[in-house]
Amino acid sequence: MDMSEQELIYTMALTRISNFNFATALELYRRMGCATAIYEHRNDIGSIIEDCSPRLVNALKVWDEPMKRAEAEMEFIKKHNILALTPASSDYPQRLNECADAPLVLYYKGTADLNNAKVINIIGTRDCTIYGQDLIRRFCNDLKSMCPNVLIVSGLAYGVDIHAHRNALANGFNTVGVLAHGLDTIYPSAHRNTAKEMVTRGGLLTEFMTMTNADKVNFVRRNRIVAGMSDATILVESANKGGGLITCGIARSYSRDVYAFPGAVGAKYSEGCNRLIRDNEAALITSAEDFVNAMGWENDAKLQKAKEQGIERNLFPELEADELQIVQQLEKTNDLQANVITVKTGLSISRVTALLFQLEMKGIVKPLAGGMYHLLK
């Protein structure tokens, strides 16, 4: 067994050790540098990390069962050509990696780039109405002509989720389903054929090992992945309470943009959307065009035309104050993703996206693979 595989097994085992939450596990992993170091210092972790709680010190002494479980999972993922992604992996969703409670391991079967330049999620009630279905259909159809390379994420559940996946596929988008269980099963089973198609035109993603039941708490846990790996969250329909509202709250906590479609006053499955809009917790959109304009993505077509004609670099460009902020961040650390720039500058993701376009048009930055931006020096 090579060192990289052993490190992965230690990381997988770490996810099975109880008594500490996601944020604590990730912080420990980052402070120690790797899971191997945590394992090697499992009996003296308190002497290395002084603020380590007694509860965590004790939890990290019990590795036998977690290691057996991780080794069994390793055999499964090898057999079924599943990728196990850790925060150290280049294929790990870097938008999610910026979140304090990102999963230590993600299991992925698919073809889509999880670091696609543009990633959105479409979510909502499991009781999607005809109105909601029509919103999704028109949104995906119209988005295709404006931003054809968007990655669409949802949860493969009944209602809004499955309609989002199926309309994404129908319009040629890659689409990823984030699951609340392991990759040894599909829940609900009625969506198995769609899931099978998604593996070749998107993918299936989960933090859960095999033999994990699709328990209610797991659906709440997976919502942070849906929100964290996306630039924006779009709520189609929701009652006054529901998982979609939880995901919107998580997205806001990650400083990601949240949008909602309004519905008729008194309509049960528009109450949640209308409330978010009323309370300024989501921006109102009525179409794909509204969304694209709000995100600053309407420049895609303009940029493509400019590239065809050739962008000339201005050697002495005049920069707006916000543009200068971005340039200064890239001077400190070049090759950053838009969401990282958002965190470092305090600007909204839609504002950063628009500014990066302006800087690209001025020949100051250029986009790289994985949604990164490079400052031309």
Tens of pLDDT, residue by residue over 343-364, are 899 998 889 988 998 898 888 8
Confidence grade of residue 303 (pLDDT, cut at 50, 70, 90): low
According to the model, what pLDDT value does residue 20 have? 52
Residues 330, 351 within the same domain: yes
In three-state secondary structure terms, 373 is: strand
- Mean pLDDT in residue range 9-36: 85
Q: Per the omega criterion (within 30 degrees of 0), is the bond before 93 cis?
A: no
- Mean pLDDT in residue range 206-225: 94
The tokens of 323 are what?
């543009």
Structural element, H or E, at residue 227: helix 216-228
According to the model, what pLDDT value does residue 27 have? 87
- Assess if residue 105 is contained within a domain: no
Residue at which a domain ends, from 264, 295, 326: 295
Confidence grade of residue 304 (pLDDT, cut at 50, 70, 90): very low
- Assess if residue 23 is contained within a domain: yes
- Mean pLDDT in residue range 283-307: 80
Domain CATH for 342: 1.10.10.10
* pLDDT over 80 at 135, yes or no: yes
Cβ(197)–Cβ(191) below 8 Å: no
Q: CA 196, CA 180: separation in Å to the nearest integer?
A: 17
- Assess if residue 86 is contained within a domain: no
Residues 223, 281 within the same domain: yes
- Mean pLDDT in residue range 260-283: 97
Residue at which a domain ends, from 49, 79, 109: 79
pLDDT, tens digit, 9 for 90 and up, residues 117-132: 999 999 999 999 999 9
According to the model, what pLDDT value does residue 19 have? 52
Q: CA 289, CA 100: separation in Å to the nearest integer?
A: 32
Number of domains forming the structure of the chain: 3
Q: CA 140, CA 153: separation in Å to the nearest integer?
A: 12
According to the model, what pLDDT value does residue 311 have? 47
Taking the CA atoms of residue 131, residue 132, residue 134 and residue 138 in that order, the dihedral angle to the nearest 10 degrees is 140
Burial per residue of 213-232, b for 16 or more beta-carbon CB atoms within 10 angstroms, e otherwise: ebeeebbebbbbbbbbbbbb
* pLDDT over 90 at 312, yes or no: no
Residues 142, 184 within the same domain: yes
pLDDT, tens digit, 9 for 90 and up, residues 313-351: 454 467 888 999 999 999 888 889 888 999 899 998 889
According to the model, what pLDDT value does residue 230 have? 97
The tokens of 249 are what?
């709250």
Average pLDDT across the chain, whole number = 91
Q: CA 169, CA 242: separation in Å to the nearest integer?
A: 26
- Assess if residue 111 is contained within a domain: no
- Assess if residue 58 is contained within a domain: yes
- Assess if residue 106 is contained within a domain: no
According to the model, what pLDDT value does residue 307 have? 52
Cβ(19)–Cβ(55) below 8 Å: yes
Cβ(229)–Cβ(114) below 8 Å: yes
Owning domain of residue 334:
299-375
pLDDT, tens digit, 9 for 90 and up, residues 65-75: 999 999 999 99
Comparing C-alpha atoms, which of 113, 112, 111, 109 is closest to residue 82? 109
Residues 284, 151 within the same domain: yes
Residues 180, 232 within the same domain: yes
Residue at which a domain ends, from 257, 275, 295: 295
E strand residue ranges, the chain: 83-85, 106-110, 119-123, 151-154, 174-178, 202-206, 232-235, 257-260, 283-284, 336-337, 365-368, 372-375
The tokens of 338 are what?
């838009």
According to the model, what pLDDT value does residue 318 have? 78
